[in-house]
Structure 1
């Protein structure tokens, strides 16, 4: 009874909203409100000032929030300590990942993980739509690139680089660009966006490019580049082998954007189960940060 309502109170205090706290904890607004009210009654203290537009901590609420957050962290550490002694991951993991990256990199590691831990069940959804973890009941999501502000926890698994390149035949025919402005005189093979990421004067930015091939498949763009149709920009994992073999040549390397992260995301207030934690370790090892 002494702990009842504490997690809900902390979530509302940190989010400043019953609705956002409910989304963070994966609970209903009614549940959050009911437990916070019971906590206030038990303490005989008003913790929030409520209006139709916002929720604000009272002075007593601010003091109480500061103190109980330490208790919450101690409880989390104690719980994780218990989990660490579980040496055999088991149970269900529901995960989501982008289609191509999931097929090529994530699922082979997941399969090895399942082979080593036969009591684990995996439900994987490969989709280029960013699934909502709480609404979809996902334990883990793989995200590529820069993360938006989120209530989710994130663990960096690896990284990726965007590289501009073209075939030797294309460069021999049309010349190699040495400045970003020269891209206006070249055919650019365009994916989901007609804006490419570049770094100029130590600042990442986007520039607009044009060309006569637009396609939402990275592999199709690789094939078009190999056949001399133009310059392409893709993540390194699409074109590593072609660059090593000389079929494609990097261009404008001085303007290559900074590396981006490959992330494992999971709900922030949800205890990280042993099977998910061990899978994350497998992914970090397999993807070679």
Structure 2
């Protein structure tokens, strides 16, 4: 699997528990102050212990100055894409360009349905995602009014706006054959998680993205590869469970052999001190190792 040569990025993937708000905001401050690039927040509106992701993202952006924020990833069945596009553009304007859009097909269909959302088959969920991307981009366009007539979503002369202040990336948190091809054809990034997109699965998944990108006339290197990883520094052993040297070696391998360029850390214990060590000791060393590798 090639190294696409993209700049390395690092961030934190906090769990948006209402009862741990102080901890979540502390993690965002560490990311902002210690030169990490992103805060990614999962979106499960039906989870009673979780804060609303969009309200939390707005709060994080208001309390930080430099770090960018994105939903990791937005729950499309419960977020109509035209409204989602306006929310994303609004956060981008309010934060002076510090917002990206992670987007998924949806899951946990019983919970989605219990909250009033649609239950979709796997094929329907993919088709709806394809339509949603078109709707979102129309809503970010500079056209006076836009129309779209799809099976799942419609626009009937709506006037787009406000415009984002920077080109917001659409990053897809997907893993199926059709959706990986969709990443390659049209998305700006891919957001898998190490729990289901394990390192041994990455080569085949990356290849599907790259084949679709080339077939669509795109350079695969324009697609960001964002990897959600869980673990503990100085943990009990196993993947991303060892000391600093192990973390540096494994993340470096993921970058130079598996093509991942952004690492979103979900600490499995002691989140704030773990993130501080990640920012101070792991991320700089990985950058150094990858730079050395690229220079040959």
Give the TM-score taking structure 1 as reference length.
0.24
Which protein, 1 or 2, shows the higher relative CO under an 8 Å CA cutoff with sep ≥ 6? 1
Higher strand share: 1
Give the TM-score taking structure 2 as reference length.
0.24
